[in-house]
Structure 1
Amino acid sequence: MTTHQVVLSDGATLHVKVLGDNSPTKPLLIALHGAPGLSTHTEPEATFAFLATKFRVIVYDARGSGISDLKPPYTNERWIADVDEIRAWAGAEKFVLVGGSYGGFLSLDYALAFQHRLLALILRDTWAWGTRGMMNALKVSLTSDRIKVDPDRQTRMWTGILYDDQDYANAVAEMSALFQSPGIDPAQRKYSDPEALGETPQIHAATQNAAFSYNMPRFDVRSRLKDIMVPTLVIVGRHDLITPVAYSEEITNGIPNSQLAIFEKSGHNPGNDEPEAFQQRVLEFLSSARLL
């Protein structure tokens, strides 16, 4: 594993990790994290390190997240441009793109803008319509009997009007149980989920505010899913309340060359809840796409 500080065309520096050896003979896989301003490369690193013997696996903190530069704009357009700059930095013409949760939104946008760069697409627990998704997440956080939250604070988080970093940390902490599956013993999970505020001390409310006040109301790719022609694997946990199964079914029905994998014991991250089954299913997909 090697760590790099990659300077982009606008001067922003991203904290990037290359897992395994960086042989140019290996196909490239870039895995994007979720939760802008909260999640970091930690989750995709833990989830996809198993592929490092077969791929050059790149994970990184997106701009505005982790220890990468806090340099706006925090727009989907800028974030997908950053993905393509990381691809170019790695020296690959084509690659496999993986996105979980908010990283799935960016992966869909990337596929529609730069489809000629993709070998395959893997989407984990995500949605295709921002307004419905964020309103559902707010509804669940306010009505679930699994948690007790401050309604005003949750409204601030899901509409992108958080007061400050502490407000963001408090909002995530009080609803973290919604990311978990009730069928999985926390002690059996592969790692502590960064989106549940376990491993991420760098909290950036400004990034979250931009994502959910500006990007999400404008994000709706439902009518364009049919234009994505690359092999696609859509993964979702049966017990995911934030991005429920129906959202992944909608994506799978829309993308012509897609497969749906539902993990019956999992919540928001099957790679964490059912790691062995998850890894096997990803390998099967990559093999079917003739990438192994």
Structure 2
Amino acid sequence: MAEGQTTTVSWVEMEDGCRLYVKILGDDWTRSKPLLISLHGAPGLSTHAEPEASYTFLSDAFRVLVYDARGSGASSHTGPYTHERWIKDIENLRQWAGAERFILAGASYGAFLALDYAISHGDRLYGLILRGAWANGKFGPMNVLANILTSNKVQADRARQVRLWSGTLIDDQDFEDSIQELLPFYAPPETDSSTTTAPESTEFRGSVKFYSATQNSAFGENMPRFDVRSRLHLIEVPTLLVVGRHDNVTPVTASQEIANGIPHAKLVIFEHSGHSPASDEPERFEQVLSDWIKAEGMLNPRP
């Protein structure tokens, strides 16, 4: 963030009493800058920390809004943890921020929510940024589970991983144990697994909280119903997809399928990245996003 800028922290209350922990990166009291909202992944595990680390570089040009989704981090653990409710929270935050339209960025599970939002509220968007997504919520978790169980990078407890990806975790400790054993799985091949952090989180060591109820809702209830393949053509805004060549969770083929279905989409593959190009190749990630934003005229978007 540029020298002299600040981060504004707010608690924003939803109409059902749920309080969301929200940060606006960069000081713009006049609200003259366009708004960018970035969604974190890993429900019940991740927080605003990953999108804050990934998108702070844009805070000179945008009001960058990041937050802990309900059921994650410091925000209230007030259900339901459904796509419909999470999307309503996005709409509430858009209105709270005073923006008629904005850029929406979603990472991993946040990309699934971003796809659903773009299909239902596309008139509210200038653009869409997706990192690590799939369009078919039935096939996606089964494919990643198959990759885990055949991987030579991890020694995973099979039954526990089945519980993780089917949304049937026993408790919060079961959730933590399942993620701990998966750390090397998320990294590109050349990364030292001893330095790998948890997916979607820059705070893993000793401070991340695990909420299995949120994860269970996401993968036990939402994912079996998530299938946007036949509706991708409804997304009319410019869309950027980024994916790591070595992403074992949301592989290149999944992003390619989405790019093929969205009329105005650009796919960029990061050759030295796993599931998190923003942290695996940060300089290139920032350059790719900056170039795309300029090329699409989003620094001074139309009203």
Q: Which TM-score band applies after superposition, normalised by the shorter structure?
A: over 0.9
Q: Any idea what the Cα deviations from partners look like across 1:31-67, whole Å, max 9, x if unmatched?
A: 0000000010000000000000100000000000001
- What's the CA shift for 1:289? 1.4
Q: Distance in 2 between matches of 1:234 and 1:32?
A: 14
2:49, 2:203 within 8 Å by CA — same for their partners in 1? Answer: no
> 1:220 and 2:220 equivalent?
no
CA distance in 1, matches of 2:277, 2:194: 15
TM-score by length of 2: 0.93
Q: 2:218 aligns with which of 211, 214, 237?
A: 211
Q: Quick one: distance in 1 between partners of 2:83 and 2:34? A: 25
**Distance in 2 between residues matched to 1:286 and 1:195, nearest whole Å:** 25
2:247 matched residue in structure 1: 240
Verify the 8 A CA contact 1:172 1:196 in the aligned structure 2: no
Cα offsets for 1:123-145 (capped at 9, x unmatched)? 00111110110001111111101
RMSD over equivalenced CA pairs, Å: 1.6
Moved more, 277-286 or 177-186: 177-186
Equivalent in the alignment of 1:198: 204
- 1:256 matched to 2:256? The reply is no
TM-score of the superposed pair, with normalisation by structure 1: 0.96
- 1:4 corresponds, among 6, 10, 22, to 10
SS in structure 2 opposite 1:145?
coil
The aligned runs of 1:147-158 (5 Å cut-off) are 147-158=154-165
Gaps of 5+ in 2: 1-6
Q: State the percentage of identical aligned residues.
A: 52
> Is residue 40–residue 200 contact of structure 2 (8 Å, CA) maintained in 1?
no
Aligned counterpart in structure 2 of residue 30 of structure 1, from 19, 24, 37: 37
Deviation per CA, 1:202-246: give whole Å up to 9, x if none: 110000000001000000000100110000000000000000000
Question: Aligned equivalents of 2:102 and 2:267: distance in 1?
Answer: 21
1:16 and 2:22 correspond? yes
Residue pair 1:184, 1:265 contacting (<8 A) in 2 also: no
Change (3 A) 1:87 1:262: same
Task: Specify the SS of the correspondent of 2:159.
Answer: helix
How is 1:77-156 mapped onto 2 (pairs within 5 angstroms)? 77-156=84-163
Aligned residues of 2:184 and 2:193 also touching (Cα < 8 A): no
Structure 1 runs not aligned, ≥5 long: none
Count of equivalent residues: 291
Alignment partners' CA distance in 2, 1:27 and 1:272? 25
Deviation, structure 1 residue 259:
0.2
CA drift of 1:201 comes to 1.9
Structure 1 232/92 Cα, relative in aligned 2: closer, same or farther at 3 Å? same
Does the alignment pair 1:48 with 2:55?
yes
Aligned partners of 1:177 and 1:196 also within 8 Å: no
Q: Measure, in 1, the Cα distance between the counterparts of 2:28 and 2:172.
A: 36
Contact 2:183 2:193 in 1 (8 A): no
Per-residue CA deviation, residues 143-178 of structure 1 (Å, 9 max, x unaligned), is: 101000110100000000100000000001111211
